[in-house]
Amino acid sequence: MDKVPEYAAINESVEIVKQREKKASGFVNGVLRSILRNKQQFNQINIKDNIKRLSIQYSHPEWIVKMFIDEFGEDFTEELLKANNTTPKLTVRVNTLKITKEELKKILEDKGINVYDGIVEEALILEDFSNIEKSEEFNKGYFIIQDESSMLVSRVLDVKEGMKVLDLCSAPGGKTTHIAQLMNNKGQVIAFDIHEHKLKLIKSNSDRLGIDIIDAKLKDAEVFMEEYIDYADRVLVDAPCSGLGLLRKSQK
């Protein structure tokens, strides 16, 4: 019998919370309806300082806006900020060691997937492709998910068959496997990373793509290694950086 008052108090507290939630949701809905009715007014940013205006308009911190303007100028910066606020497209790199670009396009289009050519030769842009990593084409190693900006790095490296290449910050292996692909899986790619679990990602990607010239090593590129003096034809250092290139990813 002593528990009855306790239960009553709990029920009363729950009811109070429900009433407050109802009032809060009503208030929020009212604010949103007001914004929709006066959308043009809310879209006007009456601030003369261009850095502050762009910061508010495109939801970027002022220091980033200023840095971009100093580096690229105002017109380019505004286009860059706009682009950062759009959802990135799903881009894959065709694994030409196993399939041609046209062959993969046809397979995917036959499945009802919208496929477009990217800027990079081996890049495809895909739309309406769900559960991509469970697809037969992915698991057969016909492609790897990779941004075109990342693909450009390996292209600039200008590798050739039979070369020795050092990739000093390699995990998870997108650029590493691309380098091996551009070498037609002939030569040697030594891939360093300081995290053992990330080296497993390189191995997993290499196996799926049918690449066997990558030697993944648990090494720190900041430590001098005499055995690699004058060893390689090409060296890639894709060191951890500011991460500003990932701003657009937040739109996903």
**Residue-wise pLDDT tens digits, 90-100:** 999 999 999 99
Band of residue 115 on the pLDDT scale cut at 50, 70, 90 = very high
Residue type at position 201? L
Cα-Cα-Cα-Cα dihedral sign, residues 8, 13, 16, 22: negative
Q: Is 53 left (phi over 0), alpha (psi -120 to 50) or beta?
A: alpha
Between CA 10 and CA 108 the distance in angstroms is 57
Domains and CATH numbers, the chain: 16-83 (no CATH), 90-145 (3.30.70.1170), 158-239 (3.40.50.150)
Is the Cβ–Cβ distance between 203 and 216 less than 8 Å?
yes
The whole-number average pLDDT for the span 22-37 is 79
The DSSP secondary-structure symbol of 87 reads: P
Q: Is 212 left (phi over 0), alpha (psi -120 to 50) or beta?
A: alpha
For β-strands 143-145 and 164-167, DSSP reports them as unpaired
Is the Cβ–Cβ distance between 173 and 235 less than 8 Å?
no
In this structure, of 154-168, 190-204, 229-243, the range with the lowest mean pLDDT score is 229-243
Mean pLDDT over all residues of the chain? 88
Residue 64 to residues 60, 112, 242: CA-CA distances in angstroms? Answer: 7, 40, 11
Between CA 199 and CA 171 the distance in angstroms is 6
Band of residue 6 on the pLDDT scale cut at 50, 70, 90 = low
The whole-number average pLDDT for the span 189-212 is 94
Residue (of 162, 166, 168, 161) closest to 220 by Cα position: 168
Look up tokens 């030409």; give the residue: 96
H helices of 73-221, where?
74-84, 101-110, 136-139, 148-157, 174-182, 196-209
For the chain, the farthest-separated pair of C-alpha atoms sits apart, in whole angstroms, at 86
Token pair belonging to 52: 């502050």
pTM exceeds 0.85, yes or no: no
For β-strands 143-145 and 90-94, DSSP reports them as antiparallel
Return the pLDDT at 103: 97
- Cβ burial of 248 (10 Å; 0-12, 13-18, 19+) is middle
